[in-house]
Amino acid sequence: MPSWKKLSLQDSASPLMEQLSFFHDHTLMILVIITVLVGQILINVLMNKFTHRLLLEGQIIELIWTILPALILVFIAIPSLRLIYILDEINNPIISIKTIGHQWYWSYEYSDFNNIEFDSFMLPANSSKSELFRLLDVDNRMVVPFNSQIRILVTSTDVIHSWTIPTLGVKIDATPGRINQVNLISNRPGLFFGQCSEICGANHSFMPIVMESVSPKFFIKWISKSL
């Protein structure tokens, strides 16, 4: 969960987010190397009173600054394309959960279990619950088992919303009249918070997302109580 002084990415809670963090570090390392190299060249050119006679009209240097950026783009594109294919890959999900965006709350349907349905509203600031996180906690959390492949089907009834949980590396639009799907795997138990990431109206900031990741045994107990 992020705090006001946190500048880096949140700790990953899924294999996908781990790969996204690695890709972020990989790209940032390349950018730092380019920045240092270009900065050093600029300083040398500006501070040096001599001019290299082959610098402005040299075939070799033009060949280098054409091929080198192309190679750098290849080193960035290969892991990026790999991540795109991982994002789209859904193999035999154990559970399918339908997420519906409304102005301004979320509702969930567990159609695999006799149509368990519930709405998820943000808890008011004066709530008496001790575990309250201001503007982030909800009255009904989405519960999933960890280390299980979950398919999330996302849609909307009114305007475009965006179902987002940063720790899991999940961000998908909820579009009226269309069902989008995303793969989800949580590798540890806990509470994972998110918010609508598409400006959807006056109360856009007040429709948080809370996913509770539990063991399969507790998930079965929760399903039994909800039936």
Give the predicted TM-score (pTM) of the model: 0.77
Domain ranges within the chain, ordered by starting residue: 15-88, 95-226
CATH architecture assignment, domain 95-226: Sandwich (2.60)
Q: What is the mean pLDDT of residues 26-41?
A: 90
Q: How far apart are the first and last CA of the chain?
A: 31
Nearest-angstrom CA–CA distance, 99 and 154: 5
Indicate the class that CATH gives domain 15-88: mainly alpha
Distances (CA, A) of 165 to 38, 67, 128: 37, 39, 25
Percent of the chain residues past pLDDT 90, beyond the cut: 25
Give the model's confidence band at 208: pLDDT under 50 very low, under 70 low, under 90 confident, else very high: very high
Between 12-21, 120-129, 199-208, the lowest mean confidence (pLDDT) is in: 120-129
Provide CB contacts within 8 A for 7, sequence distance 6+.
none
Amino acid 173: pLDDT: 92
Distance of CA 206 to the CA centre of its chain: 19
Task: In whole angstroms, give the CA distance from residue 191 to residue 10.
Answer: 13
User: Confidence class of residue 19 from pLDDT cuts 50, 70 and 90?
Assistant: confident
